[in-house]
Structure 1
Amino acid sequence: MNRKAIVFTLGCRLNTADSALLVSRLTEAGYEVSESAENAALIIVNSCTVTAEAARKSRQMVRKFRAAHPEAVIVVTGCSAELDRDAFLADNAADVVLTNPEKRSLPELVSEFLTKHAAGLGGAEKSMNQPVTPFRERAFGSFPFRSRAFLKIQEGCGNFCSYCIVPYARGPERSRAFDEVLADCRKAVEAGFPELVLTGVNTCAYSDSGRDLGALVHEIARIDGEFRIRLSSTEPAPGNRSLLDVMASEPKVCRFLHLALQNGSDRILKAMNRHYTTREYADFVHAARERIPGIHLGSDLIVGFPGETEEDFAESCRFVESMEFANLHIFTYSPRAGTPAALLPGRIPPEVAKERHKRLDVIAKESKRKFIAGQYGKRVPVIFERIDSDGMARGWSDNYIELRVPAEEVPLDRIVSVEATRENTASNLIG
């Protein structure tokens, strides 16, 4: 029997970490996991539904796989599978549709499908019904096609921002068992990965028996080996200040924080149900820069949220400019069915939202340029991950500056010290 499988991932870093766990489970079950879908007997689509467009692309990808590989067993899982199950089944492209919790039983459910030919398996175990207790994946991440290890430490979100569908797709906040996270990290270090990326929906909500994210990071940093730790998206909550102390005291922790702002107007932040003010956000940013010199502070921002006036937007621009972000992901608001914001009045005309996006992008690019220029002449630890066609090695520093140097000068997939200059720093940062 053909045991070739592929795991195709859409969406966030947490999905990437989930896919690594799926690869491990499939390998354990005797599958040969490949990068290519050619001749694959099993195709897994780990879907995304953070926006209506992401959900549409997930369904489109499944239909594309079905058309190209009519004989394959196609399994859809992830957030879009959780919320848009009926749409996938109506397309007649997916054989099995599994919720996020059901990912852990994927090989067994595929076997059941093959044995019984029971169409429509899955959908019984919902994320919203998961217990708020530490969980175990009972698998370790496998990363055969990556130079960094994305490790899941947390699941779910309790913030319920008014524009966001994720809490409904991922369920309540809960954390992966402390000892299992450490074991996963050790395996990744033993496998030679130079960077561990800790992921979750809200990593700052990590808690197991009184041990928070700071305690977890501190313990991971004590693992023997030459590697570094990068934190995925975090929240600027006052209770997270202790994390800055851990980051400042542990050399293995990257000087990087991605703090989702979403808007620079307090009025809009309140309408978004974000749980801080711009002053609290700024206090956190200033504390981070004071404790960790050279830190990369990135963020997300939504323009065109319902009811956003020109005065709100101007206030937001002034605040964003004052934050001097190293990187800023700008999104134009789009309504997501099932969220409170989708029902709000005051929808911003598309042409106005587009113009605001452009104005904010100018600020973001200048802020990024200043951050990179501020690193010229400093030596930074870099992991070079690939060689471009022109013979230049490309890699990223701990504070997410992209550098290119002649390939013969540096090894790949190891941490090396390089001086950042105008000549070797790339024009953009990865997000």
Structure 2
Amino acid sequence: MEDIEDLLVGSGGAPPGFRLPLNAVGVNPRKKNKAKPSKISPLNDPLKIPGTQTIYVKTFGFSDTLTTCQSDSEYMAGQLSSFGYAISDNPEEGDLWLINTCTVKNPSQSAMNTLITKGKSAKKPLVVAGCVPQGSRDLKELEGVSIVGVQQIDRVVEVVEETLKGHEVRLLNRKTLPALDLPKVRKNKFVEILPINVGCLGACTYCKTKHARGHLGSYTVDSLVERVKTVIADGVKEIWLSSEDTGAYGRDIGVNLPILLNAIVAELPPDGSTMLRIGMTNPPFILEHLKEIAAVLRHPCVYSFLHVPVQSGSDSVLTAMNREYTVSEFRTVVDTLTELVPGMQIATDIICGFPGETDEDFAQTVNLIKEYKLPQVHISQFYPRPGTPAARMKKVPSTIVKNRSRELTSVFEAFTPYNGMEGRVERIWITEIATDGIHLVGHTKGYVQVLIIAPESILGTSAMVKITSVGRWSVFGEVIETLTLVNVKMAPENVNTQEKPLPCSNRYESCACSKEPEPCSCGPDFCGGQIRLEEYAVSKNDSLMENRVGKNPIHWLIRKRRNHELEKVENDIDSGIKNKQDWTPGGWGIVDRALLVGIFVSFLMIVAVIMHLEFRTLPSK
């Protein structure tokens, strides 16, 4: 079927959330078999009011592309929800299935194909969105289903309604980016996935995403900053910048990534309650901005974490991939950021068995991974994507590809990146429940995953934790303090290229996730002293104390004692000394109790003296 485009001449489509009339959307009514008239389905029942159905939403993606696809799904779910549709993650409940797809890897597309087949067998109306229909619109699996392109997600309500009526709709082409202020239903209410641009400037020979998302198209700095302000007001605690290549941001509109990052960071709450995570960044476009990006990554409101794909440790393979950088340049990125950002954590990607990869090429990749021992490495086998130059190259035998993938995975899994963290006190940001349903998940400033056992009421908050044990993929912690109220004092470090101090910048450094088993030189200033905590309102008892009369000597002693213990822990950690016994807030020794008793006795004596004087001054009858 031909692509169906907007029929409103010069309108550029409907405003966000506005339903175009039927004659303004190209539709193709499905042909019905006149010989065997079918029974009226509830979905074709004219009494079935649009907006009362349930939509099953499923998102497919891989690695960082999943965040982009997830953001699109959240925007589409938000618009549907705003028009009354119920959103479900249970396919059995769905009156219509909305499938959002990624075209990076074969397994993702294969899973999509399987789900489409199931939907057709179950007689479910189907809408397929995302990269697959945009980049491969003539796929056999897409016959008979409605499709929405990556830049048409603001039209999803129209497409769903026409599909429920039995029409097949295709909306694929558009010259403008969808608005950022569309309604949104977040999968995690504490996390905002913020797309900063669509498409990229690269031309990797194996990549199908470029076919789907096209050339670079960046949102303006002002529009992104406004979105940041909005989501912070909504209670979001983490903002993830999403893009096919974050480093390329703004090159089409005359700005760059550091300009955007500094503008966003200036809007983050100075108490560190909302954190920023920078998305996947290819080496070529950040080489010229390494110092500026390092300064932002040091900022206390920004995770000291970056995903920098290398794909191969061999320059010859990188050339065949058309990656536009060398292994040496990748090393420069990693070495510079590691040197300038204490506690810096870097993740990378590797493709095993790219066409033409020799044993020597693969050995160079293994050596690179062994040298850096990065905590996160996404390892995948090469998958030829139809229509890409790499699909026409001579392939490495599949058995060799699989063996190389297993070998590299074995090398990577032998690393112990979190050794040395046990016993440290870290600040974490808690945003989700672990898949085991028991632990909550938080992250350190270096984005190390910390699992804790705590009530769900602390989701969306920050806490001080003591690391009790370490695993291969995460660490386990014990909550010391829940930071529900934090006052900050800023030191005068400039991390802005305009030499303007950022809201919560200071001179202290972080070692939240140091790979070396050395004593951490940071403490409850929250790993690296990024924020000086002046006040901990951490429990109901503490809150009650703060609200009582400040002149009460007993309450004064309690607060004084707690501050003394906190300073002692900070000093011990700063000097690399491990406490001989665990510190617990509010612990009282013999001296403390004696002081408390003395104050109490003194208080009674003062009351007795006052009462005695009162009785003496009473007039006699």
Give the TM bin, normalised by the shorter chain.
0.7 to 0.9
2 CA distance for matches of 1:277 and 1:144? 38
Which residue of the partner structure matches residue 373 of structure 1? 419
Q: Which has the higher strand share?
A: 1
Superposition deviation, residue 168 in structure 1: 0.4
The answer to whether the 8 Å contact 2:151/2:178 transfers is no
1:250 aligns with 2:299: yes
2 CA distance for matches of 1:296 and 1:176? 27
Which residue of the partner structure matches residue 59 of structure 2? 9
Q: Which of 264, 267, 286 does residue 223 from structure 1 map onto?
A: 267
The amino acid that maps onto 2:109 is A
Which residue of the partner structure matches residue 411 of structure 2? 363
The answer to whether the 8 Å contact 1:388/1:394 transfers is no
Q: Which of 357, 362, 368 does residue 308 from structure 1 map onto?
A: 357
The amino acid that maps onto 2:234 is A
Superposition deviation, residue 9 in structure 1: 0.8
The amino acid that maps onto 1:183 is E
- Cα offsets for 1:79-127 (capped at 9, x unmatched): 11113333356654x2x11221222211123334456x432x215516x
1 CA distance for matches of 2:452 and 2:338? 28
1:158 aligns with 2:158: no
Which residue of the partner structure matches residue 225 of structure 2? 182
Superposition deviation, residue 415 in structure 1: 2.0
Which residue of the partner structure matches residue 378 of structure 2? 329
1:407 aligns with 2:457: no
The answer to whether the 8 Å contact 1:206/1:212 transfers is yes
- Cα offsets for 1:53-85 (capped at 9, x unmatched): 3222212112223334x2x43211101111333
Q: Which of 357, 365, 368 does residue 319 from structure 1 map onto?
A: 368
Question: Which deviates further from its counterpart, 402-411 or 27-36?
Answer: 402-411
Aligned positions of 1:183-332 closer than 5 A: 183-207=226-250, 209-225=253-269, 226-237=273-284, 238-332=287-381
2 CA distance for matches of 1:78 and 1:288? 34
The answer to whether the 8 Å contact 1:88/1:97 transfers is no
RCO (CA 8 Å, sep 6+): is it higher in 1 or 2? 1
The answer to whether the 8 Å contact 2:71/2:194 transfers is yes
2 CA distance for matches of 1:358 and 1:283? 28
Question: Which deviates further from its counterpart, 30-39 or 2-11?
Answer: 30-39
Change (3 A) 1:114 1:268: same
Tell me how large the CA RMSD over aligned residues is: 2.5
1 CA distance for matches of 2:385 and 2:435? 39
1 CA distance for matches of 2:138 and 2:226? 37
Superposition deviation, residue 21 in structure 1: 1.2
Unpaired runs of 5+ residues, structure 1, are none
1 CA distance for matches of 2:341 and 2:233? 28
2 CA distance for matches of 1:90 and 1:386? 36
The amino acid that maps onto 2:108 is A
Count, aligned residues:
414
Change (3 A) 1:64 1:145: farther
Normalising by structure 1, report the TM-score: 0.88
2 CA distance for matches of 1:86 and 1:256? 39
Q: Which of 454, 460, 467 does residue 420 from structure 1 map onto?
A: 467
2 CA distance for matches of 1:217 and 1:375? 29
2 CA distance for matches of 1:275 and 1:239? 14
Change (3 A) 1:49 1:248: closer
The amino acid that maps onto 2:196 is I
Superposition deviation, residue 164 in structure 1: 0.9
Superposition deviation, residue 209 in structure 1: 4.7
1 CA distance for matches of 2:379 and 2:87? 35
SS at match of 2:383: coil
1:106 aligns with 2:160: no
1 CA distance for matches of 2:363 and 2:216? 34
Normalising by structure 2, report the TM-score: 0.62
Question: Which deviates further from its counterpart, 155-164 or 139-148?
Answer: 139-148
Q: Which of 24, 27, 38 does residue 81 from structure 2 map onto?
A: 27
Superposition deviation, residue 352 in structure 1: 1.5
Q: Is the radius of gyration larger for structure 1 or structure 2?
A: 2
